[in-house]
Amino acid sequence: MANQFDAVIIGSGINSLVSGAMLAKRGWRVAVLERNERPGGAIATRTDIFPGFTVELLSSWHPLFVGGPAYAELAGDLARLGVEYLNTEDPTGVVCNAGSAILSTNVTRNEEQFRALGDLDAWNTVMSDFGGRAELAFGLLGTDFWRPSAAKFGWRAWRKLGRRGLLASGAELLEPAAPWVDRSFTSPVTKALLAPWALHNGLGPDDAASAFITKVIAAAISMGGMPIPVGGGVKLVEALCALITEAGGEVITNAEAVRIEVSGGRAKSVKTAAGATYDARKAILASVTPQALYLKLLDSAQVPSDFSAAAASFRYGRAAMQIHLALTEPPNWTMPKMAKVALVHVLDSMDSLSESVNAANRGFLPRRPTIVVGQPGVIDPSRVPAGAGLLWLQLQEVPREIRGDMAGEIDHIGGWSPQVRDRYADRIISQLKPHISNIDTHVAGTKVLGPADLEGLNANLVGGDPYAGDCRVDQYAMWRPLRVATGHNTGVAGLWHIGASTHPGPGLGGGSGYLVAKRLLD
């Protein structure tokens, strides 16, 4: 029958498409059901926002994917289908009250930078120490804790570190970034260069495990840069979809899944809002939030009680905002060396970083938030008309529900209304004006996405949470997505849970899709 498949996958984000492509390559007939009119999930490349510009509305940067196992397995096919990655020697930098700095992929330039900051010995110590255990660090994030291979990983760690070393590493894994950078470095610029990276995993500098995440990301960027595909993330989406359809599968848009049918204790099919039924002979994979899966898509009678209770208590994190600016000329940085940096954090200091995270966690608009300034055109010039400029701005210290404004300027009555959203965006532009002098004088177009807009684009971004769930330690690693520590197993035979809400968490890497596909294929 036309609607019979080996696997039916709900959602078409990076994890869904990675798993679908891997299964398709091994002969499975796969159906991917996407509720929106375009596949891609948080990869939302648009050419109709500003004429002549290619804009990534949501995710933009691909270091986790290019450096991960999914790309290693699919790289040949992706290249055949036209996916080409570009990179830069200047992946990230910082502008703060104490100065500016760039973290480069060039070892010599990094030595010069950290020597000038007075932190060369400290940086070398961190990289040497972390580098000696990098295999274990990256392996921890990519391990499926519920397979026999996890025991092998644990044994390797034991042999390498010993009992005392393993216990010490456990304590190190839980350390917050703020005390780590304060202990390890002397320059406030170095601290401001490194600490904001915890934000990109949904953490703040005072959260447990944020030091580990900061080290992982700093090492990954200094070694692997900030790759992006020519023409935008849509090229990766199109290629992964092609791998599925080449094998006889289908990617079906405008197909909102509303029910997973279970018979005899096994997931059998998916029904859509339009009334269509898609049967799955071998597996159903759902890239949704735990609450959407266990409390909506499944009949409550089919869900183990401990699963439904854990799903009901699943917690979402801070919200985010995106601001896209098309400029009639390139951004005019007052620190000219930032003009060619892919992603710049602009903040006052470590203190403002902690203040803003804590404010957002408690429901307040930060007074001086950390601003992520992305410049995709410096890597891929095809995204920007000649002589023009494009800024991809992200804010990760945003309250999902507003209780107040730390600056006392914005009337928040009514919550995230378009007026509140736009007034807060004005604050961001004003904060950037001393660093990018033409940010308000040479604007050809502006697109602001507040928390409600983000959720409207992707249902998994509940309340505008870009990471589909709080990433603090009680909802991470083996406790993601559920506190009952079940991993991708849903308690229903034939049904698997993937996506940013599941281990190894958010980020454009395809990790959960890869892990579940490997489990199904091995």
331 with 452, same domain?
yes
If you average pLDDT over residues 86-93, what whole number do you get? 97
pLDDT at 155: 42
Higher-pLDDT residue of 91 and 216 is 91
296 with 356, same domain?
no
294 with 323, same domain?
no
417 with 510, same domain?
no
398 with 421, same domain?
yes
339 with 444, same domain?
yes
Give the domain range for residue 204.
123-224
pLDDT at 412: 82
- How many independent structural domains does the chain possess? 3
pLDDT at 157: 45
pLDDT at 166: 46
| Of the residues 208, 224, 240, the one at which a domain ends | 224
Q: Which two tokens stand for residue 441?
A: 């004088």
| Of the residues 178, 206, 224, the one at which a domain ends | 224
CB 385 within 8 A of CB 53: yes
* Whole-number Å distance between alpha carbons of 155 and 145: 13
pLDDT at 149: 62
pLDDT at 469: 97
| Of the residues 406, 428, 457, the one at which a domain ends | 457
The yes-or-no verdict on residue 169 having pLDDT over 70 is no
Exposure of 288 by Cβ count < 10 A (0-12 exposed, 13-18 middle, 19+ buried)?
buried
pLDDT digit string, tens, across residues 125-134: 988 876 655 5
pTM over 0.85: yes
* Whole-number Å distance between alpha carbons of 127 and 218: 9
As a whole number, the mean pLDDT across the chain is 92
Residue 294 lies in a domain: yes
Q: Which two tokens stand for residue 17?
A: 């498409």
DSSP state of 203: -
167 with 292, same domain?
no
Which one-letter amino acid corresponds to residue 295? Answer: L
Residue 112 lies in a domain: no
CB 332 within 8 A of CB 438: yes
Q: Which two tokens stand for residue 197?
A: 């990276």
453 with 324, same domain?
yes
439 with 367, same domain?
yes
pLDDT digit string, tens, across residues 354-386: 999 999 999 999 999 999 999 999 999 999 999
Helix (H) and strand (E) counts in the chain: 17, 20
pLDDT digit string, tens, across residues 217-263: 888 899 899 999 999 999 999 999 999 999 999 999 999 999 999 99
Residue 74 lies in a domain: yes
DSSP state of 348: S
Phi and psi torsions of 346, nearest 5°: -115, 120
CA distances to 359, 365, 438 from 448, in Å: 21, 16, 18
The yes-or-no verdict on residue 158 having pLDDT over 60 is no
